[in-house]
């Protein structure tokens, strides 16, 4: 009996620690010909990542979350501008908010809010999950979320780090001062600048590059102008429909690696299949947009995908440092809910 107890004490910490590992029972990469055929569409291929028995057991108590899109539609969260003094950050000063882009005239905005922080409040009984890269419309500028966040039920007002994805506006479009409309997850090039580089000017540059390539011209230079780019919308719908249908047929999928041409666009991994499923439709937009804008015929080899994943899925003792150098990881109450690399 004592030997059994000792064995359990040794095994349980191992299982709790060894969650995000590319090995049998934890995370497996699907790389066979069937997957190549089923998960390749035009200039994008995704490699599904499957959570094994040990991985699922380690996360079985994670719980169920409402995502931001659902929460906004159902008025379960309220996002508003953060007023008060403007802090010196992201190239702004306290007298006026200014931005200067190459080849464009200088524009200034009144300083009665904060660009890189909003307030978010969960007014429901749900637990709400917000993901870095998600774009919300409204306020004085459309914004992209700069970090993941869990909002407990009836959370009260919480500071939400963001970056602007609309450089030419600093005023309300209507009497509604909030952010009541969800857009989607921004392209990996945009969310990478927000999450990894944390630089407002680089975010604006990435937004301009994406929108210009899709012919999404707007007076305020907003990322959300993509919704008016007809050719882009048609292509996005084609890609989305294809990959969503394929993912529905995969059991225990917890994320994927996305590639185009001979390069890796990025990787997203979640703690549970349910959490991944909640985010997958909008998350695909981030990868599809890259494939539409910069995509090429798939040339990359499976061994390159394995090598990329092994950089952060082979040793959890170094995982945090490696992931943070490539992207981000989000922990809630000491548990990893999301890894994202670029």
Per-residue confidence (pLDDT) for residue 117, from 0 to 100: 93
pTM attached to this predicted model: 0.87
Q: How far apart are CA 328 and CA 161, in angstroms?
A: 14
Between strands 143-145 and 97-99, the pairing is: unpaired
The Cα angle at residue 317 between residues 287 and 131, in degrees rounded to 5: 30
Contact 144, 165 (CB under 8 A): yes
Tokens representing 110? 């009144």
Confidence at residue 97, expressed as pLDDT on a 0 to 100 scale: 39
pLDDT of residue 175: 56
Kindly provide the residue ranges of all beta strands, DSSP E only, lying in the chain, ordered along the sequence. Answer: 27-29, 40-41, 44-51, 66-67, 77-81, 97-99, 107-109, 117-122, 128-130, 134-137, 143-145, 149-151, 156-164, 181-185, 253-260, 263-270, 327-332, 335-341
Q: According to the model, what pLDDT value does residue 176 have?
A: 60
For residue 178, the model assigns a pLDDT of: 85
Burial of 103 (0-12, 13-18, 19+ CB in 10 A): exposed
Contacts 24+ apart (CB under 8 A), 238-243: 238/41, 238/42, 239/41, 239/42, 239/44, 239/284, 239/288, 239/291, 239/292, 240/281, 240/284, 240/285, 240/288, 242/41, 243/39, 243/41, 243/44, 243/46, 243/284, 243/288
Burial 1-11 (b: 16+ CB within 10 A, else e): eeeeeeeeeee
- Encoding tokens for residue 222? 């907003």
Are 110 and 96 contacting, i.e. CB atoms less than 8 angstroms apart?
Answer: yes
**Stretches in the chain below the pLDDT threshold 50:** 1-17, 84-112
> What pLDDT does 209 receive?
97
Q: Residue 127, Cα to own-chain centre: how many angstroms?
A: 18
Q: How far apart are CA 188 and CA 133, in angstroms?
A: 8
């Amino acid at each position: 009996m004592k030997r059994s107890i000792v064995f359990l004490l040794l095994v349980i910490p191992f299982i709790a620690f060894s969650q995000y590992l590319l090995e049998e029972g934890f995370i497996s990469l699907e790389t066979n010909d069937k997957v190549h055929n089923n998960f390749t569409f035009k200039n994008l291929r995704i490699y599904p990542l499957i959570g094994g028995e040990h991985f699922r057991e380690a996360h079985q108590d994670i719980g169920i979350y409402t995502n931001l899109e659902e929460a906004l539609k159902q008025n379960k969260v309220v996002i508003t501008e953060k007023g008060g003094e403007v802090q010196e950050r992201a190239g702004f000063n306290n007298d006026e908010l200014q931005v200067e882009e190459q080849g464009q005239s200088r524009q200034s905005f009144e300083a009665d809010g904060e660009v890189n922080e909003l307030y978010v409040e969960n007014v429901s009984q749900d637990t709400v999950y917000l993901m870095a890269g998600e774009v919300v419309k409204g306020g004085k500028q459309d914004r992209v979320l700069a970090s993941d966040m869990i909002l407990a039920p009836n959370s009260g007002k919480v500071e939400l780090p963001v970056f602007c994805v609309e450089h030419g506006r600093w005023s309300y479009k209507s009497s509604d001062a909030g952010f009541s409309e969800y857009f989607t997850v921004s392209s990996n090039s945009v969310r990478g600048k927000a999450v990894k580089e944390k630089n407002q000017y680089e975010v604006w540059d990435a937004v301009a590059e994406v929108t210009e390539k899709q012919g999404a011209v707007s007076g305020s230079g907003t990322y959300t102008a993509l919704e008016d780019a007809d050719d882009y919308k048609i292509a996005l719908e084609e890609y989305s429909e294809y990959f969503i249908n394929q993912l529905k047929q995969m059991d225990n999928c917890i994320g994927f690696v996305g590639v185009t041409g001979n390069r890796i666009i990025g990787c997203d991994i979640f703690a549970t299949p349910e959490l991944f499923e909640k985010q997958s439709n909008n998350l695909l937009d981030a990868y599809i947009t890259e494939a539409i804008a910069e995509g090429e015929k798939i040339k990359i080899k499976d061994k390159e995908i394995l090598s990329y994943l092994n950089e952060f899925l082979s040793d959890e003792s170094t995982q945090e440092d490696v992931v943070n150098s490539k992207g981000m990881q989000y922990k809630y109450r000491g548990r990893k809910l999301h890894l994202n690399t670029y």
